[in-house]
Structure 1
Amino acid sequence: MDVEVLNHFLTVVREENISRAAERLHVTQPTLSRQMAALEEELGTQLFIRGKHLQLTDAGVLLRGRAEEVTQIIDKIRMEFKAGEELSGVVSIGTGGLMSAQILSKLISEFRALHPAVRFNIYTNSADHLREQLDRGLLDFAFLLEPVDIGKYDFVRMQVKERWGILMPKGHPLEEKPLISRKDLLHQPLVMTNRANVQKELAGWFGGSMEHLDFIATYNLINNVANLVSDGTACAMTLEGAVNFLDPQKFTFRPLSPDLSATSVVAWKKLSPFFGAASAFLSTIKRYAKTE
């Protein structure tokens, strides 16, 4: 399967039209149509529902995801092996709602002062998804909240404390409290993370069980349930760092009491053969961790 054909497939998907995709790719419409037909024949399945606007079949949706991953990796390889004395390339970093991730702006600023040709791809998602991206080689590094299984990774542990607390809408009755206790949450509709190992940590804070509490939803990113919080439907158990993405005019964060905190790590694939931009940035991360 030719990488160029996968790129052409992705262009067709974006344009939803063979003619427009052919114009963008500077090829003839018959040529592009034959490429797509040959791709379907090679895979033994229909990829498009043809009409005024092309739509993907389930197989087409699957191929789109795989093609995006493959083309990203190919682009990354090309950048890593790009000739020239000046350090260049793209460093891909995954983050979540963590206080420790706030060091990224400082690290990138200092790094680019020395290597201005290097670019960064910052990707935000849940820890479980970031680990998948690390495993597939789509990310060089990821900030991960502990507890997390890091047996497959090398890492440096960050010293910043990641505090758990309650996110509530402005004007909520609990806003008057500087700290939120277990008792405060007994009759309060709540949402929490869908990560099983983190749920165990939260259950421990509640005394070992959360069956007596009113949890109405779970989330992988706090942004997904922000509307439930802003309209007063529920409060969210979340990390302090996650609220930095939300409008401070609409939300209030209060830490838990007794304190519930976690640590985080910057992780990368074990024995990963880094060189070029990623290798240089890894040295920057390690240097920061030592001086922190």
Structure 2
Amino acid sequence: MDLRDLRHFLAVAEEGHIGRAAARLHLSQPPLTRHIQALEEKIGVPLFVRTPKGMQLTDAGHTLLQETPNLLALAQQALERTRLAGQGLIGQLDVGLFGSGVLDVIPRILARFHEERPEVKIVLHNLTKDAQLQALRERRISVGFNRLVPQEADISIETVLHEPLVVALAASHPLAVRPSLRLSDLEGMPLILYPNVPLRGLA
């Protein structure tokens, strides 16, 4: 039984007459009659009693009539929600985050997104850079935020923030008097970094 069956049944039940129902549906009578007969065969019980005055509902027909408006409304709601989900207006947004990337610009971006699309549930996942790339490929997350992501042929990358790179030195360190440093200036020096932060791509 499909939505067309339900619409045809509802028209005949409400009109009580095949001719009037056919006119309402912009159909001729013979096809509508065949549709109703086919519906009864699908269900396995008669829905109407044919009389000279028109179509009268059986007990089974009355039961289906009570349910049909709800079924049609649910189907319409499902179609509408499917359309909205396809447009990204409802559903769930899975976001990959790592390290201190959650501390500054990312909350503002997500807050703005929530304001514009309040029906979308945002789910955060703490993932390393490599795990984010894998999750994107497997469609387990929709977007990931990280630093220094290498260009990937199958991943679209957008820059949302440019951050200065700074180094903390003791005031007595010979390099502390310089206004700026190159990475090569730090070559051979011990460095304290966040865990799992690669140097590749910092230059």
Q: Give the TM-score normalised by structure 1.
A: 0.30
Q: Give the TM-score normalised by structure 2.
A: 0.41
> Larger Rg: 1 or 2?
2
Q: Which has the higher contact order (CA 8 A, sep 6+)?
A: 1
